[in-house]
Amino acid sequence: MNYAIIIRPLIGAGIGYVTNWIAVKMMFRPLNTWHIGKLKIPFTPGIIPKNKERIAESIGNTISKSLLTEETLRLSLLSDDVKLKIKNNLITFFNNSSAETSTTIRDLICSYIDNNTYETSIINITNYVSNSIYETVKKSNIGDIVAEQIELSAKEKIKGSFLGVLGGNAIISSISENASLKINDYIDKNGQNLINSMVSTEISKYTSYTVSDIYKNISNSNIDITNIIMDIYEKFILNKLSDLLKTINITKIVSDKINSMDTLELEKIILTIMKKELNALVNLGALIGFILGLLNLLF
């Protein structure tokens, strides 16, 4: 029996199998550079450890530019399934909130953020609203408006009277002009503090309401709060998603996450995803080696 007919293809298969197996292992191993004295051994470290940063950046770019694109995210976030899930969650939340509960709006907010963040946010909101109101009040010249109305009312009162004949209108105009200056000056000096105090009081009052009280008030007013929130959500995704994605650098997030991984952890993830494909590559090496062994018998 001519054993060469069997041995050569088997040897070829073994060489192909081992060669591809080593090639797959060299993707990850060795983890570090090897040296003989001062001489660096070629192909160390492995392909992935050596090019980890470049691979991480490449994966990040691929995900942000080809997979998680703005249009892809917009279509996904505005899909009927996603909107239905959000709406159902809102309905469940509001139904639960309608039950009698001592949970206040402040308690609800603080269940998602810490107390310091809440206090800082309230201060920022109060200042923003107060400043907006104060600037509007200043521009409207409240002192002039109030003084003008007082002047018109006073002149109407003395019209045709003895005081009117004696020049009361001029006196009233003078008083009105002085009152306008005093009111505007008072607003300039004290308006911001007064408005800030009133806004702060109103915010404290509303945040002390219970969730159930707020929900009942909304329900009694026949306002469909669920649909309003869904409209806000859709408009936000349509108009603000682009700005949001500019602040969220997906490429950097993915790249930093991969770079922060231990190489062994990254190896485990890749092998989990591509285990079948890499095994098929090794087996393909054996098959090609076997076929080459057979062909070698013919020449």
Domain definitions of the chain by residue range: 1-101+226-299, 104-209
Q: How far is CA 297 from CA 2, 8, 16, in A?
A: 11, 8, 17
Helices 80-97 and 225-247 pack at an angle, to 10 degrees, of: 120
What is the number of residues in the chain?
Answer: 299
The reply to whether the predicted model has a pTM over 0.75 is no
Question: Phi and psi for 287 in degrees, rounded to 5?
Answer: -65, -45
The pLDDT score that the predictor gives to residue 165 is 47
Q: How far is CA 185 from CA 139, 149, 178, 180, 190, in A?
A: 13, 18, 11, 8, 9
The pLDDT score that the predictor gives to residue 170 is 62
pLDDT per residue of the chain (299 residues) written in tens, 0 to 9? 566 677 888 888 888 889 888 888 888 888 888 888 888 887 788 888 888 888 888 888 888 888 888 888 999 999 999 999 998 988 887 777 666 567 788 888 888 888 888 888 888 899 888 888 888 887 777 777 776 766 666 666 656 554 444 555 566 666 667 777 777 777 788 888 888 999 999 999 888 888 777 777 776 767 777 888 899 899 999 888 888 888 888 888 888 888 888 888 888 888 888 888 888 888 888 888 888 888 877 66
209-215 CB contacts, 8 Å cutoff, 24+ apart: 209/104, 209/105, 210/101, 210/102, 210/103, 210/104, 210/105, 211/97, 211/101, 211/103, 211/104, 211/105, 211/108, 212/97, 212/98, 212/99, 212/100, 212/101, 212/103, 214/97, 214/105, 215/94, 215/97, 215/98
